[in-house]
A and B are shown apart, each in its own frame.
Chain A
Amino acid sequence: METIVQVQGLRKTYGATVAVDDISFVVHEGEIFGMVGPNGAGKTTTIECLEGLRKPDAGTVRVLGVDPQQEGQTLRLRAGMQLQQSNLPDRMKVWEALDLYASFYPKPLDWRDLLVQLGLEEKRNTPFGKLSGGQKQRLFIALALLPDPQLVFLDELTTGLDPQARRAIWDLVRDVRARGKTVILTTHFMEEAERLCDRVAILDRGKIVALDTPEALIRALGAEERVVFHIEGNLPPAFASALSEGTRLEVQGERATVYSRNGRQVPLVVEVVGLLSAQGIRYRDLRTEQPNLEDVFLSLTGREMRD
């Protein structure tokens, strides 16, 4: 597998703030590489160091075989970039933006196709300033894909998008990978990272706290399977004491959750349902939940909000 991005000991500080603290990783050709992490974890800083927009304080970065600081032009010709924050002139129309940006690249895709794929044909003649947030976001994704790049950077690709658009973008991104290209993205949606990314790096306070495939990350959590149900009134204390060894009960109002280690003899759901009927407890909406990337994320980065 070809290495597309190689980062070694990357560090970036702003005054006293250490935005990225000595991180290293590689991205392989043809993979969708995701970065997740709380606000201010350093995702944008990392991605913009790779794009050559910010100058690292220390460490080496190679992207598509070049140093982004030295040979930015080579990189910009071969990589498409969507930034977390940028703009177009308010009075520039959607088609004009695509047509203009297409002229910057030697072999751009046909922007008319992108317009259709991103559901923007109706907005073709709308000025940028009159687009909704999600429509602007889609236009920026179109601009990133326009050069038909070998590598695409998407910083918060689906922020502000409705569920339909989000799924359409996932398909587009998978399509990019299917054509052998590489994608590096950041997201705050764990479901997105889990379903879309081949590998995910979890960043926290400028460091990579975990990096693996979503499945491996979830498995490594040794995560608990759980059963959730709703009760009317209170759960009798007898229910809690009758639960087997190694389970844990959490009650929030009408909602009860029973947690348990994986790899049990009797499936947790069988035990819980058995107990509920044996004790004649009325319940509804019972379901089992598998541990997911969000559980991994919260367990690694904590539950408190970051400043």
Chain B
Amino acid sequence: MKSLWKMTWMEAKLFLREPFGTFFTLAFPLMMLFLFGSIYGNEPSPLFGGRGTIDISLPSYTAMIIATTGLMSTTITIAMYREYGILRRLRTTPVSPLVILGAQVIVLFLMTAAGMMLLLLAGKLVYHVQFEGNALSLLAGFTLASLSFFGIGFFLAGIVPTPRTAQIVGMVLLYPMIFLSGAGFPRELLPATIQKIATFLPLTYVVNLLRGLWFGEAWSQHVTDVAVLAVALVVGVLASSRLFRWE
């Protein structure tokens, strides 16, 4: 228990010292918010069912943070720890691999949550967004979505040979996914064919679920989203535990 706590604290410090992760998790989504906020404002629009661009963007940007930490931070960190012999050094100690991975999950989860809180705070203060959902429901959906993306990240970490490949694979998956799933900007603005393609992307279900819960829709309207993410989580955990390598 003591080692889990120390390890988590250490990983949190390392995360914050690494400019890349901090930027994309905490700063970049805010920059997007202010950029689009200054272009479109947050005036109610019929296209978004009477909500403004910022109202509708907050859950989407949250999905973007989840995808970034899941596909980039998780994958690159684990691949780097393996490549550089950091896992090898840990392996000589009695510390359990579950502590090592658990600390990663906790830190990435908290950082992702912090990214979401920053968005929410900025949205409220600057654009007076209305949060219409139930906070606990949102937290539950956010947790499911984050964990299933971390699962995907650990799975990818298991198959990529080096940190460099991890970075490339992560980016190749991440950017089109953010663009097509509606995490980057409202899907309503994309052509219908692209919206079709989006049904094959796990991130689409994160966007759907978070948007629904954000605006107070019932869980029963999001059974598909929950099912897809739950399956992704289970498959991710099983596959990554089989693929995990110390070196």
B-binding residues in A (CB < 8 A) = 51, 53, 73, 76-77, 81, 83, 85-89, 91-92, 96, 99-101, 103-105, 140, 143, 147
Which one, A77, A96, A105, A140, contacts B10 given CB within 8 A? A96
Residues on the A chain within 8 Å of B85, using CB: 83, 85-87
Interface of B is mostly: helix
Contact indicator A105/B89 (Cβ below 8 Å): no
Distance in angstroms from A64 CB to nearest chain B CB is 13
Q: Which residues of B, 62-106, contact A by the 8 Å Cβ criterion?
A: 81, 84-86, 88-89, 91-95
Contact of B145 with A by CB under 8 A: no
- In angstroms, Cα B13 to Cα A88, docked, is 14
Which one, A53, A92, A100, contacts B92 given CB within 8 A? A53
Which one, A51, A81, A104, contacts B95 given CB within 8 A? A104
- 9 A-B pairs closest in CB distance: A86-B89, A81-B92, A86-B85, A103-B6, A87-B84, A91-B17, A76-B94, A103-B3, A87-B85
Residues on the B chain within 8 Å of A91, using CB: 14, 17-18
Best-surrounded residue of B10, B88, B91, B92 (most CB of chain A within 10 A):
B92
- In angstroms, Cα B10 to Cα A91, docked, is 10
Contact indicator A92/B93 (Cβ below 8 Å): no
- Which residue of B has the minimal Cβ distance to A76? B94
Given A86-B89, A104-B3, A92 contacting B10 (CB threshold 8 A): yes
Which one, A86, A92, A96, A103, contacts B2 given CB within 8 A? A103
Contact of B207 with A by CB under 8 A: no
Which one, B14, B86, B91, contacts A87 given CB within 8 A? B86
Residues on the B chain within 8 Å of A86, using CB: 85-86, 88-89, 92
Interface of A is mostly: loop
Contact indicator A92/B3 (Cβ below 8 Å): no
- Which residue of A has the minimal Cβ distance to B2? A103
Contact indicator A104/B84 (Cβ below 8 Å): no
Distance in angstroms from A102 CB to nearest chain B CB is 8
Contact of B7 with A by CB under 8 A: yes
Number of contacts between A and B (CB, 8 Å)? 57
Residues on the B chain within 8 Å of A105, using CB: 93-94
Q: Which residues of B, 1-56, contact A by the 8 Å Cβ criterion?
A: 2-3, 5-7, 10, 13-14, 17-18
Contact indicator A76/B93 (Cβ below 8 Å): yes
Given A53-B91, A105-B94, A89 contacting B86 (CB threshold 8 A): yes
- In angstroms, Cα B7 to Cα A164, docked, is 34
A-B contact pairs, 8 of them (CB 8 A): A73-B94, A81-B92, A83-B85, A86-B88, A89-B14, A92-B14, A103-B5, A103-B6
- Which residue of B has the minimal Cβ distance to A73? B94
Contact indicator A96/B89 (Cβ below 8 Å): no
Residues on the A chain within 8 Å of B88, using CB: 53, 83, 85-86
Distance in angstroms from B61 CB to nearest chain A CB is 27
- Which residue of B has the minimal Cβ distance to A80? B92
Given A91-B17, A91-B18, A100 contacting B6 (CB threshold 8 A): yes
Residues on the A chain within 8 Å of B94, using CB: 73, 76-77, 104-105
- In angstroms, Cα B89 to Cα A51, docked, is 12
Which one, B7, B17, B18, B84, contacts A100 given CB within 8 A? B7
- In angstroms, Cα B93 to Cα A105, docked, is 8
Q: Which residues of B, 82-135, contact A by the 8 Å Cβ criterion?
A: 84-86, 88-89, 91-95
- In angstroms, Cα B7 to Cα A89, docked, is 13
Distance in angstroms from A86 CB to nearest chain B CB is 4
Distance in angstroms from B92 CB to nearest chain A CB is 4
- In angstroms, Cα B92 to Cα A53, docked, is 8
Distance in angstroms from A100 CB to nearest chain B CB is 5
- Which residue of B has the minimal Cβ distance to A78? B94
- In angstroms, Cα B80 to Cα A91, docked, is 13
Distance in angstroms from A253 CB to nearest chain B CB is 45
Residues on the B chain within 8 Å of A51, using CB: 92
- Which residue of A has the minimal Cβ distance to B88? A86
